[in-house]
């Protein structure tokens, strides 16, 4: 694969360092005392070329994390604390012009409703040209040719540059958006529920394609979804988010084999198996808390199957003390009082 980009991005990653690091990031919607902390002090690192899965229920803050990394949070959302380091530099200090170059060049994004992210009255090719010319000096003709190349990369005929979005199927539109996200060869692509609206066969096609492109281009992926089963197969590492906090992070295979947090275990038990005996499943009873007034102590305790007043000492800690993330095996962290208690 020849490089499609002549001008180097703002900085290049040095080997062996995390590409992106979130440190104690806090994002609030609104102002105290009515502020909802959608992201409450999370630490997260994405290494070069890896796929990090971020999973959790609707409203757990995962999309807010994505928007914070992309620096596209809009009021009333604001970053109330912590830092976001991209290749060691805090992007929260950058000027609007620097941020404009950082976006799409360093980090691009495939949105949840990517199928609707395309402008319905513009040809596909023109939308590529717009995105490229916003970031570098390139003439229209060459930009269009490059758009064709990018479409071929995601398995779409290059002549489709002159199609309108409505002439493509949902899966094709999704691939167009992925091609667009690749157009400036970013180091990180954020994918926010990229396949949720698609059916399984198309979903697998797209994931296989992203996997192959990742090997060619070497970009990292922050993959956000509520479907853990997808991540177990597709991600290198997985972080589970609940009510604005990371409750567990592990390598995908370890998470499948040795999930420790009751919430992770609940998520893993939420999808019925395709093979083996069919046993009644329970899912996770209850619903996620209101982030304007989160439960005290462990935020999962009202839904936790291992939290009962009978075990007095433990119950007291579960309801009053916030569990810290601790490492239980290499590259595996859990925030749960049960794990601490069993040590």
Partner 1 sequence: MSTVAPLEVRSLTKRFPLGNAVRRSHVHAVDDVSFELRPGTITALVGESGSGKSTVARLLAHLYEPTAGTVLFEGHDVSHVRRRRDVLRYRSQVQMIFQDPFGSLNPVKTVRHHVERPLRIHRVVPSNQVEQRVYELLRTVGLVPPEDVAAKFPHELSGGQRQRVAIARALAVEPKVVLADEPISMLDVSIRIGILNLMARLKEERDIAFLYVTHDLASARYVADDIFVMYAGQIVEHGPIEDVLSNPLHPYTRLLLAAVPDPAVKETPRIALTRGQSSAAVDPAAGCRFRERCPLAVDICSSVTPELVEAQPHHSARCHVTAPAPAT
Binding segment for partner 1 (CB under 8 A), chosen from 35-43, 113-121, 267-275, 331-339, is 267-275
Stretch that binds partner 1, among 2-10, 144-152, 174-182, 268-276 (CB under 8 A): 268-276
The CA dihedral of 174, 178, 179, 183, to the nearest 10 degrees, is 150
Q: What x-and-dash track marks residues 79-118 binding partner 1 by CB under 8 A? A: ----------------------------------------
Q: Do 64 and 39 contact (CB within 8 A), yes or no? A: yes
What is the token pair recorded at 31? 């102002």
Q: Are 339 and 258 in contact (CB under 8 A)?
A: no
Among 57, 89, 185, 340, binds partner 1 (CB under 8 A): 57
Strands 332-334 and 107-110: unpaired
Closest separation in Å from C-beta 10 to partner 1: 36
Rounded Cα–Cα distance for residues 184 and 343 (Å):
48
Closest approach of Cβ 274 to partner 1, in Å?
5
- Out of 227, 294, 314, 315, point to the residue binding partner 1 (CB under 8 A): 227
Least distance CB 204 / partner 1 (angstroms)? 4
Q: Could you tell me which of 245, 262, 326 has the C-alpha nearest to residue 43?
A: 245
- Say whether residue 287 binds partner 1 (CB under 8 A): yes
Footprint of partner 1 on residues 156-215 (CB under 8 A)? 169-170, 198-205, 208
For residues 284 and 303, is the Cβ–Cβ distance under 8 A?
Answer: yes
Total H helices, total E strands in the chain:
11, 12
Pairing of strands 188-192, 107-110: parallel
Judged by CB under 8 A, does residue 50 bind partner 1? no
Shortest approach of partner 1 to residue 289 CB, angstroms? 12
Token pair in block for residue 313: 């000492």
User: Given the rule CB under 8 A, which residues bind partner 1?
Assistant: 57-58, 169-170, 198-205, 208, 226-230, 232-234, 252-253, 256, 266-268, 270-276, 278, 280-285, 287
């Amino acid at each position: 694969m020849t490089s499609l980009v002549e001008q180097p991005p703002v900085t290049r990653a040095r080997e062996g360092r995390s590409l992106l690091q979130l440190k104690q990031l806090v994002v609030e919607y609104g102002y105290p005392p009515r502020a909802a902390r959608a992201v409450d002090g999370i630490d997260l690192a994405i290494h070069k070329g890896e796929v990090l899965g971020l999973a959790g229920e609707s409203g757990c803050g995962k999309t807010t994390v994505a928007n914070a990394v992309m620096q596209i949070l809009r009021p009333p959302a604001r970053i109330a604390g912590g830092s976001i380091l991209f290749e060691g530099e805090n992007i929260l200090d950058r000027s609007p012009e620097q941020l404009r170059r950082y976006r799409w060049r360093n980090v691009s994004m495939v949105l949840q409703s990517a199928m609707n992210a395309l402008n319905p009255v513009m040809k596909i090719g023109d939308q590529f040209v717009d995105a490229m010319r916003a970031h570098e000096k390139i003439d229209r003709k060459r930009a269009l040719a490059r758009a064709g190349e990018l479409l071929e990369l995601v398995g779409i005929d290059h002549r489709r540059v002159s199609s309108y979005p409505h002439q493509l199927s949902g899966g094709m539109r999704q691939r167009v958006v992925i091609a667009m996200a690749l157009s400036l060869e970013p180091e990180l692509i954020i994918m926010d529920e990229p396949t949720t609206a698609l059916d399984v066969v198309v979903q697998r096609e797209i994931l296989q394609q992203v996997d192959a492109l990742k090997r060619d281009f070497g970009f990292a992926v922050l993959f956000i979804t509520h479907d853990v089963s997808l991540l177990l197969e597709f991600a290198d590492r997985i972080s589970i988010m609940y009510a604005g906090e990371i409750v567990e992070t592990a390598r995908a295979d370890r998470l499948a084999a040795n999930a420790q947090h009751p919430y992770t275990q609940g998520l893993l038990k939420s999808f019925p198996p395709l093979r083996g005996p069919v046993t009644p499943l329970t899912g996770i009873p209850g619903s996620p808390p209101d982030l304007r007034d989160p439960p005290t102590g462990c935020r999962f305790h009202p839904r936790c199957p291992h939290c009962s007043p009978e075990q007095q000492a433990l119950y007291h800690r579960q309801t009053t003390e916030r569990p810290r993330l601790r490492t239980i095996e290499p590259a595996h962290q859990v925030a749960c009082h049960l794990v601490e208690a069993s040590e």
